[in-house]
Amino acid sequence: MTGDLSPIDKAKFVAAKRAADLVESGMRVGLGTGSTAAWLVRCLGEMVRQEGLKFKGVPTSTRTAALAREVGIEVVSLDEARWLDLTIDGADEFDGDLNLIKGGGGALLQEKIVATASDQMVVIADIGKEVETLGAFPLPCEVIPFGWQTTKALVEETLIQMDVLGRNTTLRMNGDAPFVTDEGNYILDCHLKRIGNPRQLAMVLNQMPGVVENGLFIDICDIVVIGFGDGRVELRDINAGTVEEERLDFVESDNLFSDLAD
C-alpha cells in the first residue's frame, strides 16, 4: 500500500500519478523504463481497468512491455505506432533546461528512440534527481560488444581530451557477466566531472564507431513532473514557461500497487 512506502517511493508515485492524467483515450504513448516508470504503468493500468481509458502503449524495454501487458495496457511496437503523442519516462538526472542523464536501468537506446518519436516527452522524477549541472550520475554509454575494450579506451581518451573524465569508465556487469541490453549491447558507465557542455559531449560520443548511443537527452524533454515525499507535485513546462503545484492524496490510491515488482 502507498501508506507503507518510503518518502522517495511516495515521491515517485505522485509524480507518476500526476503524469498519468496527461494520457487521453486514443493516444499513442511511449512507456518508459525504471522504478518511476513502473509506477506510471501501474497507474495507467488502473485507469484502463477503472475508467475505461483506451490508448496504445509503446514500451521502451522488455521489462516495461511485460508489466504493461500484466496491468491490461494494449501494447504495440514503435513500428506499428510510427509516431507518438506523448512519452512518459523516468530520468537519473535533470537540469534546469530539462536536459537529462538516462540509462541507469540500461534502456537508454529504446528510450531515446521512442522519446524522439513523440510530440512531447514528459519526465517523472523525485526531487532528488534535480541537479544544477549534469554529471554526478555516471553517464551510461551503450556500445557494441565487438571490440568493446578498444571502444572503451577511445571513449576514455576523448573524455580526457574534453577534460570531463573523473575516473575510469566501467563495464556494467550483471553478476559475473557483462550486462546485456535489450538490443544485445554492453553499457560503459562513464564517471565524469560535471558536464559543462552536455550537447557537445553527446555529439562527440556518438561519433565514435563502437558507440551506439549515450544517455544524454538534450532538447528532448518538454515537461518534468517532480514528486515530493509529502505528496506535493510540481509540473514544469519548459516551452510554456509555466510551473503548476498541487498535492495528491495517498489514501485514494491505497491497495493499488501492493504487488509492485520493479
Ligand X SMILES: O=C[C@H](O)[C@H](O)[C@H](O)COP(=O)(O)O
Looking at 74-171, which runs of residues are DSSP E strands?
A: 74-75, 84-89, 93-94, 100-101, 118-126, 139-143, 170-171
Q: State the minimum distance, in angstroms, from the CB of residue 5 to ligand X.
A: 14
Sign of the C-alpha dihedral computed for residues 33, 37, 39 and 44 taken in this order: negative
Asked if residues 153 and 210 have their Cβ atoms less than 8 Å apart, the reply is no
Task: Check the annotation: does 196 bind a ligand.
Answer: no
Q: Nearer Cβ to ligand X, position 108 or 225? A: 108
Say which of 46, 93, 111, 142 is annotated catalytic.
111
3-class secondary-structure state, position 66: helix
Burial of residue 195 (CB within 10 Å: 0-12, 13-18, 19+) is buried
Q: Select 33 or 169, whichever has its Cβ closest to ligand X.
A: 33
CA-based nearest residue to 225, from 36, 56, 65: 36
Nearest to ligand X of 85, 213 (CB atom): 213
**Binding stretches for ligand X (CB under 6 A):** 32-37, 89-92, 102-108, 111
Residue 129 annotated as binding?
yes
Closest distance to ligand X from the beta carbon of 106 (Å): 5
Within 13 A of 174's CA, how many CA atoms are on the CB side? 9
The DSSP letter of residue 153 is H
210 marked as binding residue: no
The residues facing 162 across adjacent strands are none
CA distance 123 to 130: 11
> Is residue 90 part of an annotated ligand binding site?
yes
Determine if residue 34 is labeled as part of a ligand binding site: yes
Q: Measured from the CB atom, is 46 or 89 closer to ligand X?
A: 89
**Residue 246 is a catalytic residue:** no
Provide the minimum distance between the beta carbon of 223 and ligand X in the complex, in angstroms, as a whole number: 15
Nearest-approach distance from CB 52 to ligand X, in angstroms = 28
Q: Nearest to ligand X by Cβ — which residue?
A: 34
CA 49 to chain CA centroid, Å, is 25
Binding site residues for substrate, as ranges? 33-36, 89-92, 102-105, 129
State the catalytic residues: 111
Binding site residues, as ranges? 33-36, 89-92, 102-105, 129
